[in-house]
Copies of this chain bind each other. A is one copy, B any other.
C-alpha cells in the first residue's frame, strides 16, 4: 500500500493559490532582511562583499578551537550533546557577566537569558511586548535585521533621525507627547547606541542620560542593542544605557557574534524579572533552549582567559580596515557622496546624490563583483534609497580598497548617465547637498538639516 518515494513536481501558479488562503496575516507584512538576500550571491569567491555584518572569523586560532573541543570531549561530551536549561547554563551567564563588566555593567545573572544569537533576543522582546498595530520607535536608519522582525510582529514603527551623535533624542519628547494625545504609547524604543548598525554613529552621553530620564519619567522601555560596544577604535566609551538606568527600564541585548563567533548563535537578553518571566516562556515555545554544545564552547574559550586579548586583536585589525575604507571612499567616491566616520563597530553609512537608487546600483555592482546593503533595508517607509551600508570587518584591506573602487566606478557611470539623460552638468557638491536637504525635508518636514548623511567638520 505505501507508495514508492517520489519527488514532488515543481509548484505551479495554481499551487501558490492553493496555499495562499492558509497563510497568517503576519506573512503579508513579512519581508526579507536586506543582507540575508545577498548571502547566496556574495558566497561566490570572486565577489568582494561589503554587504554582510560579518566579523573575520579567520582570525580565531584553529588550535584554540581544537583545544576547547578536545576538553569538552574529555570532560563533558554527554552534557554538551544534551538539552540544557531554557535560561542557559550558569557558566554561560558567568561569561556574559564578564563581557558586560568590561563595559562597566553588573547585571544579576538571574536577569539574563541566553538566546540563539542576538537576533532571537530581538524576536523575544517583540514576542513579549508587541501586538499588531503597537507603536515601536527605532532610529532612522535602523538595524536592517530588526526590520523583518518588527514587520513579522506587525508593529507600527516610527523612526527618529540620527545625526553624528546618534538618535536625536530631543525629537523623542514631542513625539511621545503627540502619541499620548492620540492615546498611544510606544511598547519600546529600540536603539543601537554604540557604532550603530547601519549608520556607524554613537549616541552622546548627554543624549543617553536624557533618553534614560525620559524612559523613567514616562515608564517606557528602552531596548539597548549593543553588539559592538567593545569594538572601539578611537575615543572614550560613553556609559551604556543599561548602566545609566540600572536595568529598570532598559532591556539589554548582547551577543558573542562580534567578539567571538556568529556561527555559534549565542546572544543574550537582560530584563527585569516580570519581563524575563514572559521572555522565558517565549523562548521555550520558540526553541526550548539554546545549544548546549556552543555554550560549552564559550565556557571553554573563556576558561582560557584570553578573550580580552582576542578582542584587542580584532580592534587592531578592524581599525586598519576602517581607515582603509575611509581613505578609499575619499579617493573613489564622487564629491557628491557623504559618509559617516565611525569610532568603532563594523559599518560606514554612505549617501549618494538623490537621483541614484542604491537598489538599482547594487544590481550593477554585483555585475562588477562587489556588494553592499542598499539603504532602504534600514527603513520602514522606503526612505534610504540613495544610501548604502558598507561593512569593513569581513574582508582584508586590499579587498576593501578594490571593492570601494569598483562601487565608485559604478556610481561614476550612474552620475555620467544622469548627466547625459538630463543634459545637466554633474552637480557641484554644494548643490548636491542642497538637493539632498530639500529631498529630506519633503520626507520629514520636522527635521532640520543636521541629519544623516553628513560629514563631521574634522573630515573637511
- The residues of A with any CB-CB pair to B shorter than 8 Å are 1-3, 5-8, 10-11, 15-16, 18-20, 22-27, 30-33, 36, 39-40, 43, 52, 54, 57-58, 60, 62-63, 65-66, 69-70, 72-74, 77-86, 101, 104-108, 111, 116-117, 119-120, 123, 127-131, 134, 145, 148-149, 151-152, 187-188, 205, 209, 219, 221, 238-239, 243-244, 246-248, 260-265, 272-275, 278, 281-282, 284-294, 297
Picked from B57, B63, B74, B187, the residue with its CB within 8 Å of the CB of A81 is: B57
Distance in Å: Cβ of A214 to nearest Cβ of chain B: 16
Query: CB distance A274 to B19 under 8 Å?
Result: yes
Query: CB distance A238 to B2 under 8 Å?
Result: yes
A20 to B187, CA, bound (A): 11
Query: CB distance A120 to B286 under 8 Å?
Result: yes
Report chain B residues within 8 Å CB of A128: 23-24, 27
Picked from B57, B70, B86, B285, the residue with its CB within 8 Å of the CB of A70 is: B70
Query: CB distance A293 to B27 under 8 Å?
Result: no
Query: CB distance B282 to A264 under 8 Å?
Result: no
CB nearest neighbor in B for A76? B62
Query: CB distance B285 to A151 under 8 Å?
Result: yes
A184 to B260, CA, bound (A): 50
CB nearest neighbor in B for A120? B287
**Which 10 pairs across A and B sit closest by C-beta, in order of nearness?**
A2-B239, A69-B69, A263-B292, A66-B73, A81-B261, A5-B106, A57-B81, A58-B78, A62-B77, A148-B285
Report chain B residues within 8 Å CB of A209: 1
A82 to B60, CA, bound (A): 11
A209 to B26, CA, bound (A): 33
Query: CB distance B263 to A82 under 8 Å?
Result: yes
Picked from B15, B152, B263, B272, the residue with its CB within 8 Å of the CB of A285 is: B152
CB nearest neighbor in B for A264? B293
A81 to B257, CA, bound (A): 9
CB nearest neighbor in B for A104? B5
CB nearest neighbor in B for A272? B11
Report chain B residues within 8 Å CB of A26: 127, 131
Report chain B residues within 8 Å CB of A248: 8, 15
A290 to B188, CA, bound (A): 27
Query: CB distance A243 to B3 under 8 Å?
Result: yes
Report chain B residues within 8 Å CB of A81: 57, 60, 65, 260-264
Picked from B20, B33, B83, B152, the residue with its CB within 8 Å of the CB of A127 is: B152
Picked from B8, B77, B246, the residue with its CB within 8 Å of the CB of A246 is: B8
With A263-B81, A293-B261 as known contacts, state yes or no: A8 contacts B247, CB within 8 Å. yes
Query: CB distance B262 to A11 under 8 Å?
Result: no
Report chain B residues within 8 Å CB of A6: 106, 246
Query: CB distance A287 to B65 under 8 Å?
Result: no
Query: CB distance B15 to A263 under 8 Å?
Result: no
CB nearest neighbor in B for A240? B2
Picked from B23, B73, B83, B131, the residue with its CB within 8 Å of the CB of A54 is: B83
With A2-B239, A239-B2, A285-B152 as known contacts, state yes or no: A65 contacts B73, CB within 8 Å. yes
Query: CB distance B123 to A285 under 8 Å?
Result: yes
Query: CB distance B2 to A148 under 8 Å?
Result: no
Query: CB distance A205 to B78 under 8 Å?
Result: no
A116 to B288, CA, bound (A): 9
Picked from B25, B33, B105, the residue with its CB within 8 Å of the CB of A5 is: B105
